[in-house]
Amino acid sequence: MPANCSWSDYEDRNGYIFPKPHQLLVTIPYAFGMLAIRFFVERCIAAPLANLMGIKSVKRVRPQKNPTLETFFRKCTKKPSQLEIRGLAKKCNWTVHLVEKWFRRRRNLEIPTLHKKFQEACWRFIFYLTSCIAGIVFLYDKPWLYDLWQVWANYPYHSLLASQYWYYVLQMSFYSSLLLTLGFDTKRKDFKAHVVHHFAALALMFCSWCSNHVRIGTLVMLIHDSADFWLEAAKMFNYARWEKACSFFFVVFSIAFFITRMIFFPFWILRSTLIYPIYYTQTFVLAYIVYNVPLLILQGLHLYWGYLVFKILKKFIFIKHVKDERSDEEEEDSFSDVEEECTKNGSKNGLSYPLLNNNNH
């Protein structure tokens, strides 16, 4: 806060309404409401759309129950070496080929189907697009969208607008719902980065709300939403194997990402939060650190994701193929139904599998 300001200045008076921390408690029930909306969207909109685009709802084949292999899978490794496979085959009295098959099927159970991935991407696409449109509607006539000095003019006496309140509630409810479903959503290689991002985003929104940095907070949210829905659209077409549409949307996303996250965010947002406050106050305050640390964490994540986007974009330019580097691919399920039946029946039909003849598999 500027000098000679205190918490008493945040009391509502003379038509001025200021943000209060307790107002954000509503985001807790709203997060569960967001989950209900997501359930409806995924079941009633995304699932039929996936079927219409040719994505089949495939039911994964579960491997035969085997406590020895299951224990090894959970406690040791999901991808055993050939030496380990031979040892497990001997221990279970199975062929090497059948043990390999069991691990392939078991690993596939850990990977969500394309149908499920499409549903998640469709939900995020609808939210990010809706949030982006809402942000534009809320901010297009605000002076601080075009002149960042207005973010700090007459601070902290910025009266809270109804549009700002609902924009914050919408965003915080969404990210809270994402935290609630982390254990069920598709896990990618950047899972930990997503967890950090969600907590940093929520911390940033909470701190900016409490200290009445709402103007800059809404700008940060708009910058992020303006690129994210393009990525989700590219994912949807990727899962449907519509390569040309996927390539188009991914290129648009890449352009939007580098403009918003690598140019606007560091040279527009961070400049206004790190440098501009110095011109308004000489008082060193905790809010300056608390508010800027999450922003710097977000910028670090932008650099990490920018590296991943650049890798995919480079492959697309030179190889003409777009693939999400963060996702695991399903493995081929390839051996005959006769072998599968023999595995289930075992020695009951007089069939056995000599181990020594399978070293070449």
Q: What is the pLDDT of residue 169?
A: 95
List CB contacts of 89: < 8 A, sequence separation 6 or more.
95, 96, 98, 99, 355, 358
pTM listed for this prediction: 0.78
Find, among 52, 60, 38, the residue nearest to 121 by Cα.
Answer: 38
DSSP string, 187-216: P-TTHHHHHHHHHHHHHHHHHHHHTT-HHH
Residue 224 vs residues 38, 89, 167, 217: alpha-carbon distances, Å: 20, 51, 13, 11
Query: Length of the chain in residues, anyone?
Result: 361
Residue 318 vs residues 97, 182, 312, 322, 327: alpha-carbon distances, Å: 37, 35, 10, 11, 21
Residue keyed to tokens 């579960």: 62
CA angle 130, 136, 139 (to 5 degrees): 135
Question: How many CB atoms lie under 10 A from the CB of residue 320?
Answer: 9
Q: What is the pLDDT of residue 197?
A: 83
pLDDT in tens, the chain (361 residues): 666 677 777 777 777 788 888 999 999 999 999 999 999 999 999 999 999 998 887 777 778 888 888 888 888 888 888 888 888 888 888 888 888 888 888 887 777 788 889 999 999 999 999 999 999 999 999 999 999 888 888 877 888 999 999 999 999 999 999 988 887 777 766 677 778 888 888 988 998 898 888 999 999 999 999 999 999 999 999 999 998 899 899 999 999 999 999 999 999 999 988 888 877 766 656 767 777 888 898 899 899 989 988 888 887 777 655 555 545 454 455 444 434 444 444 433 333 333 223 333 3
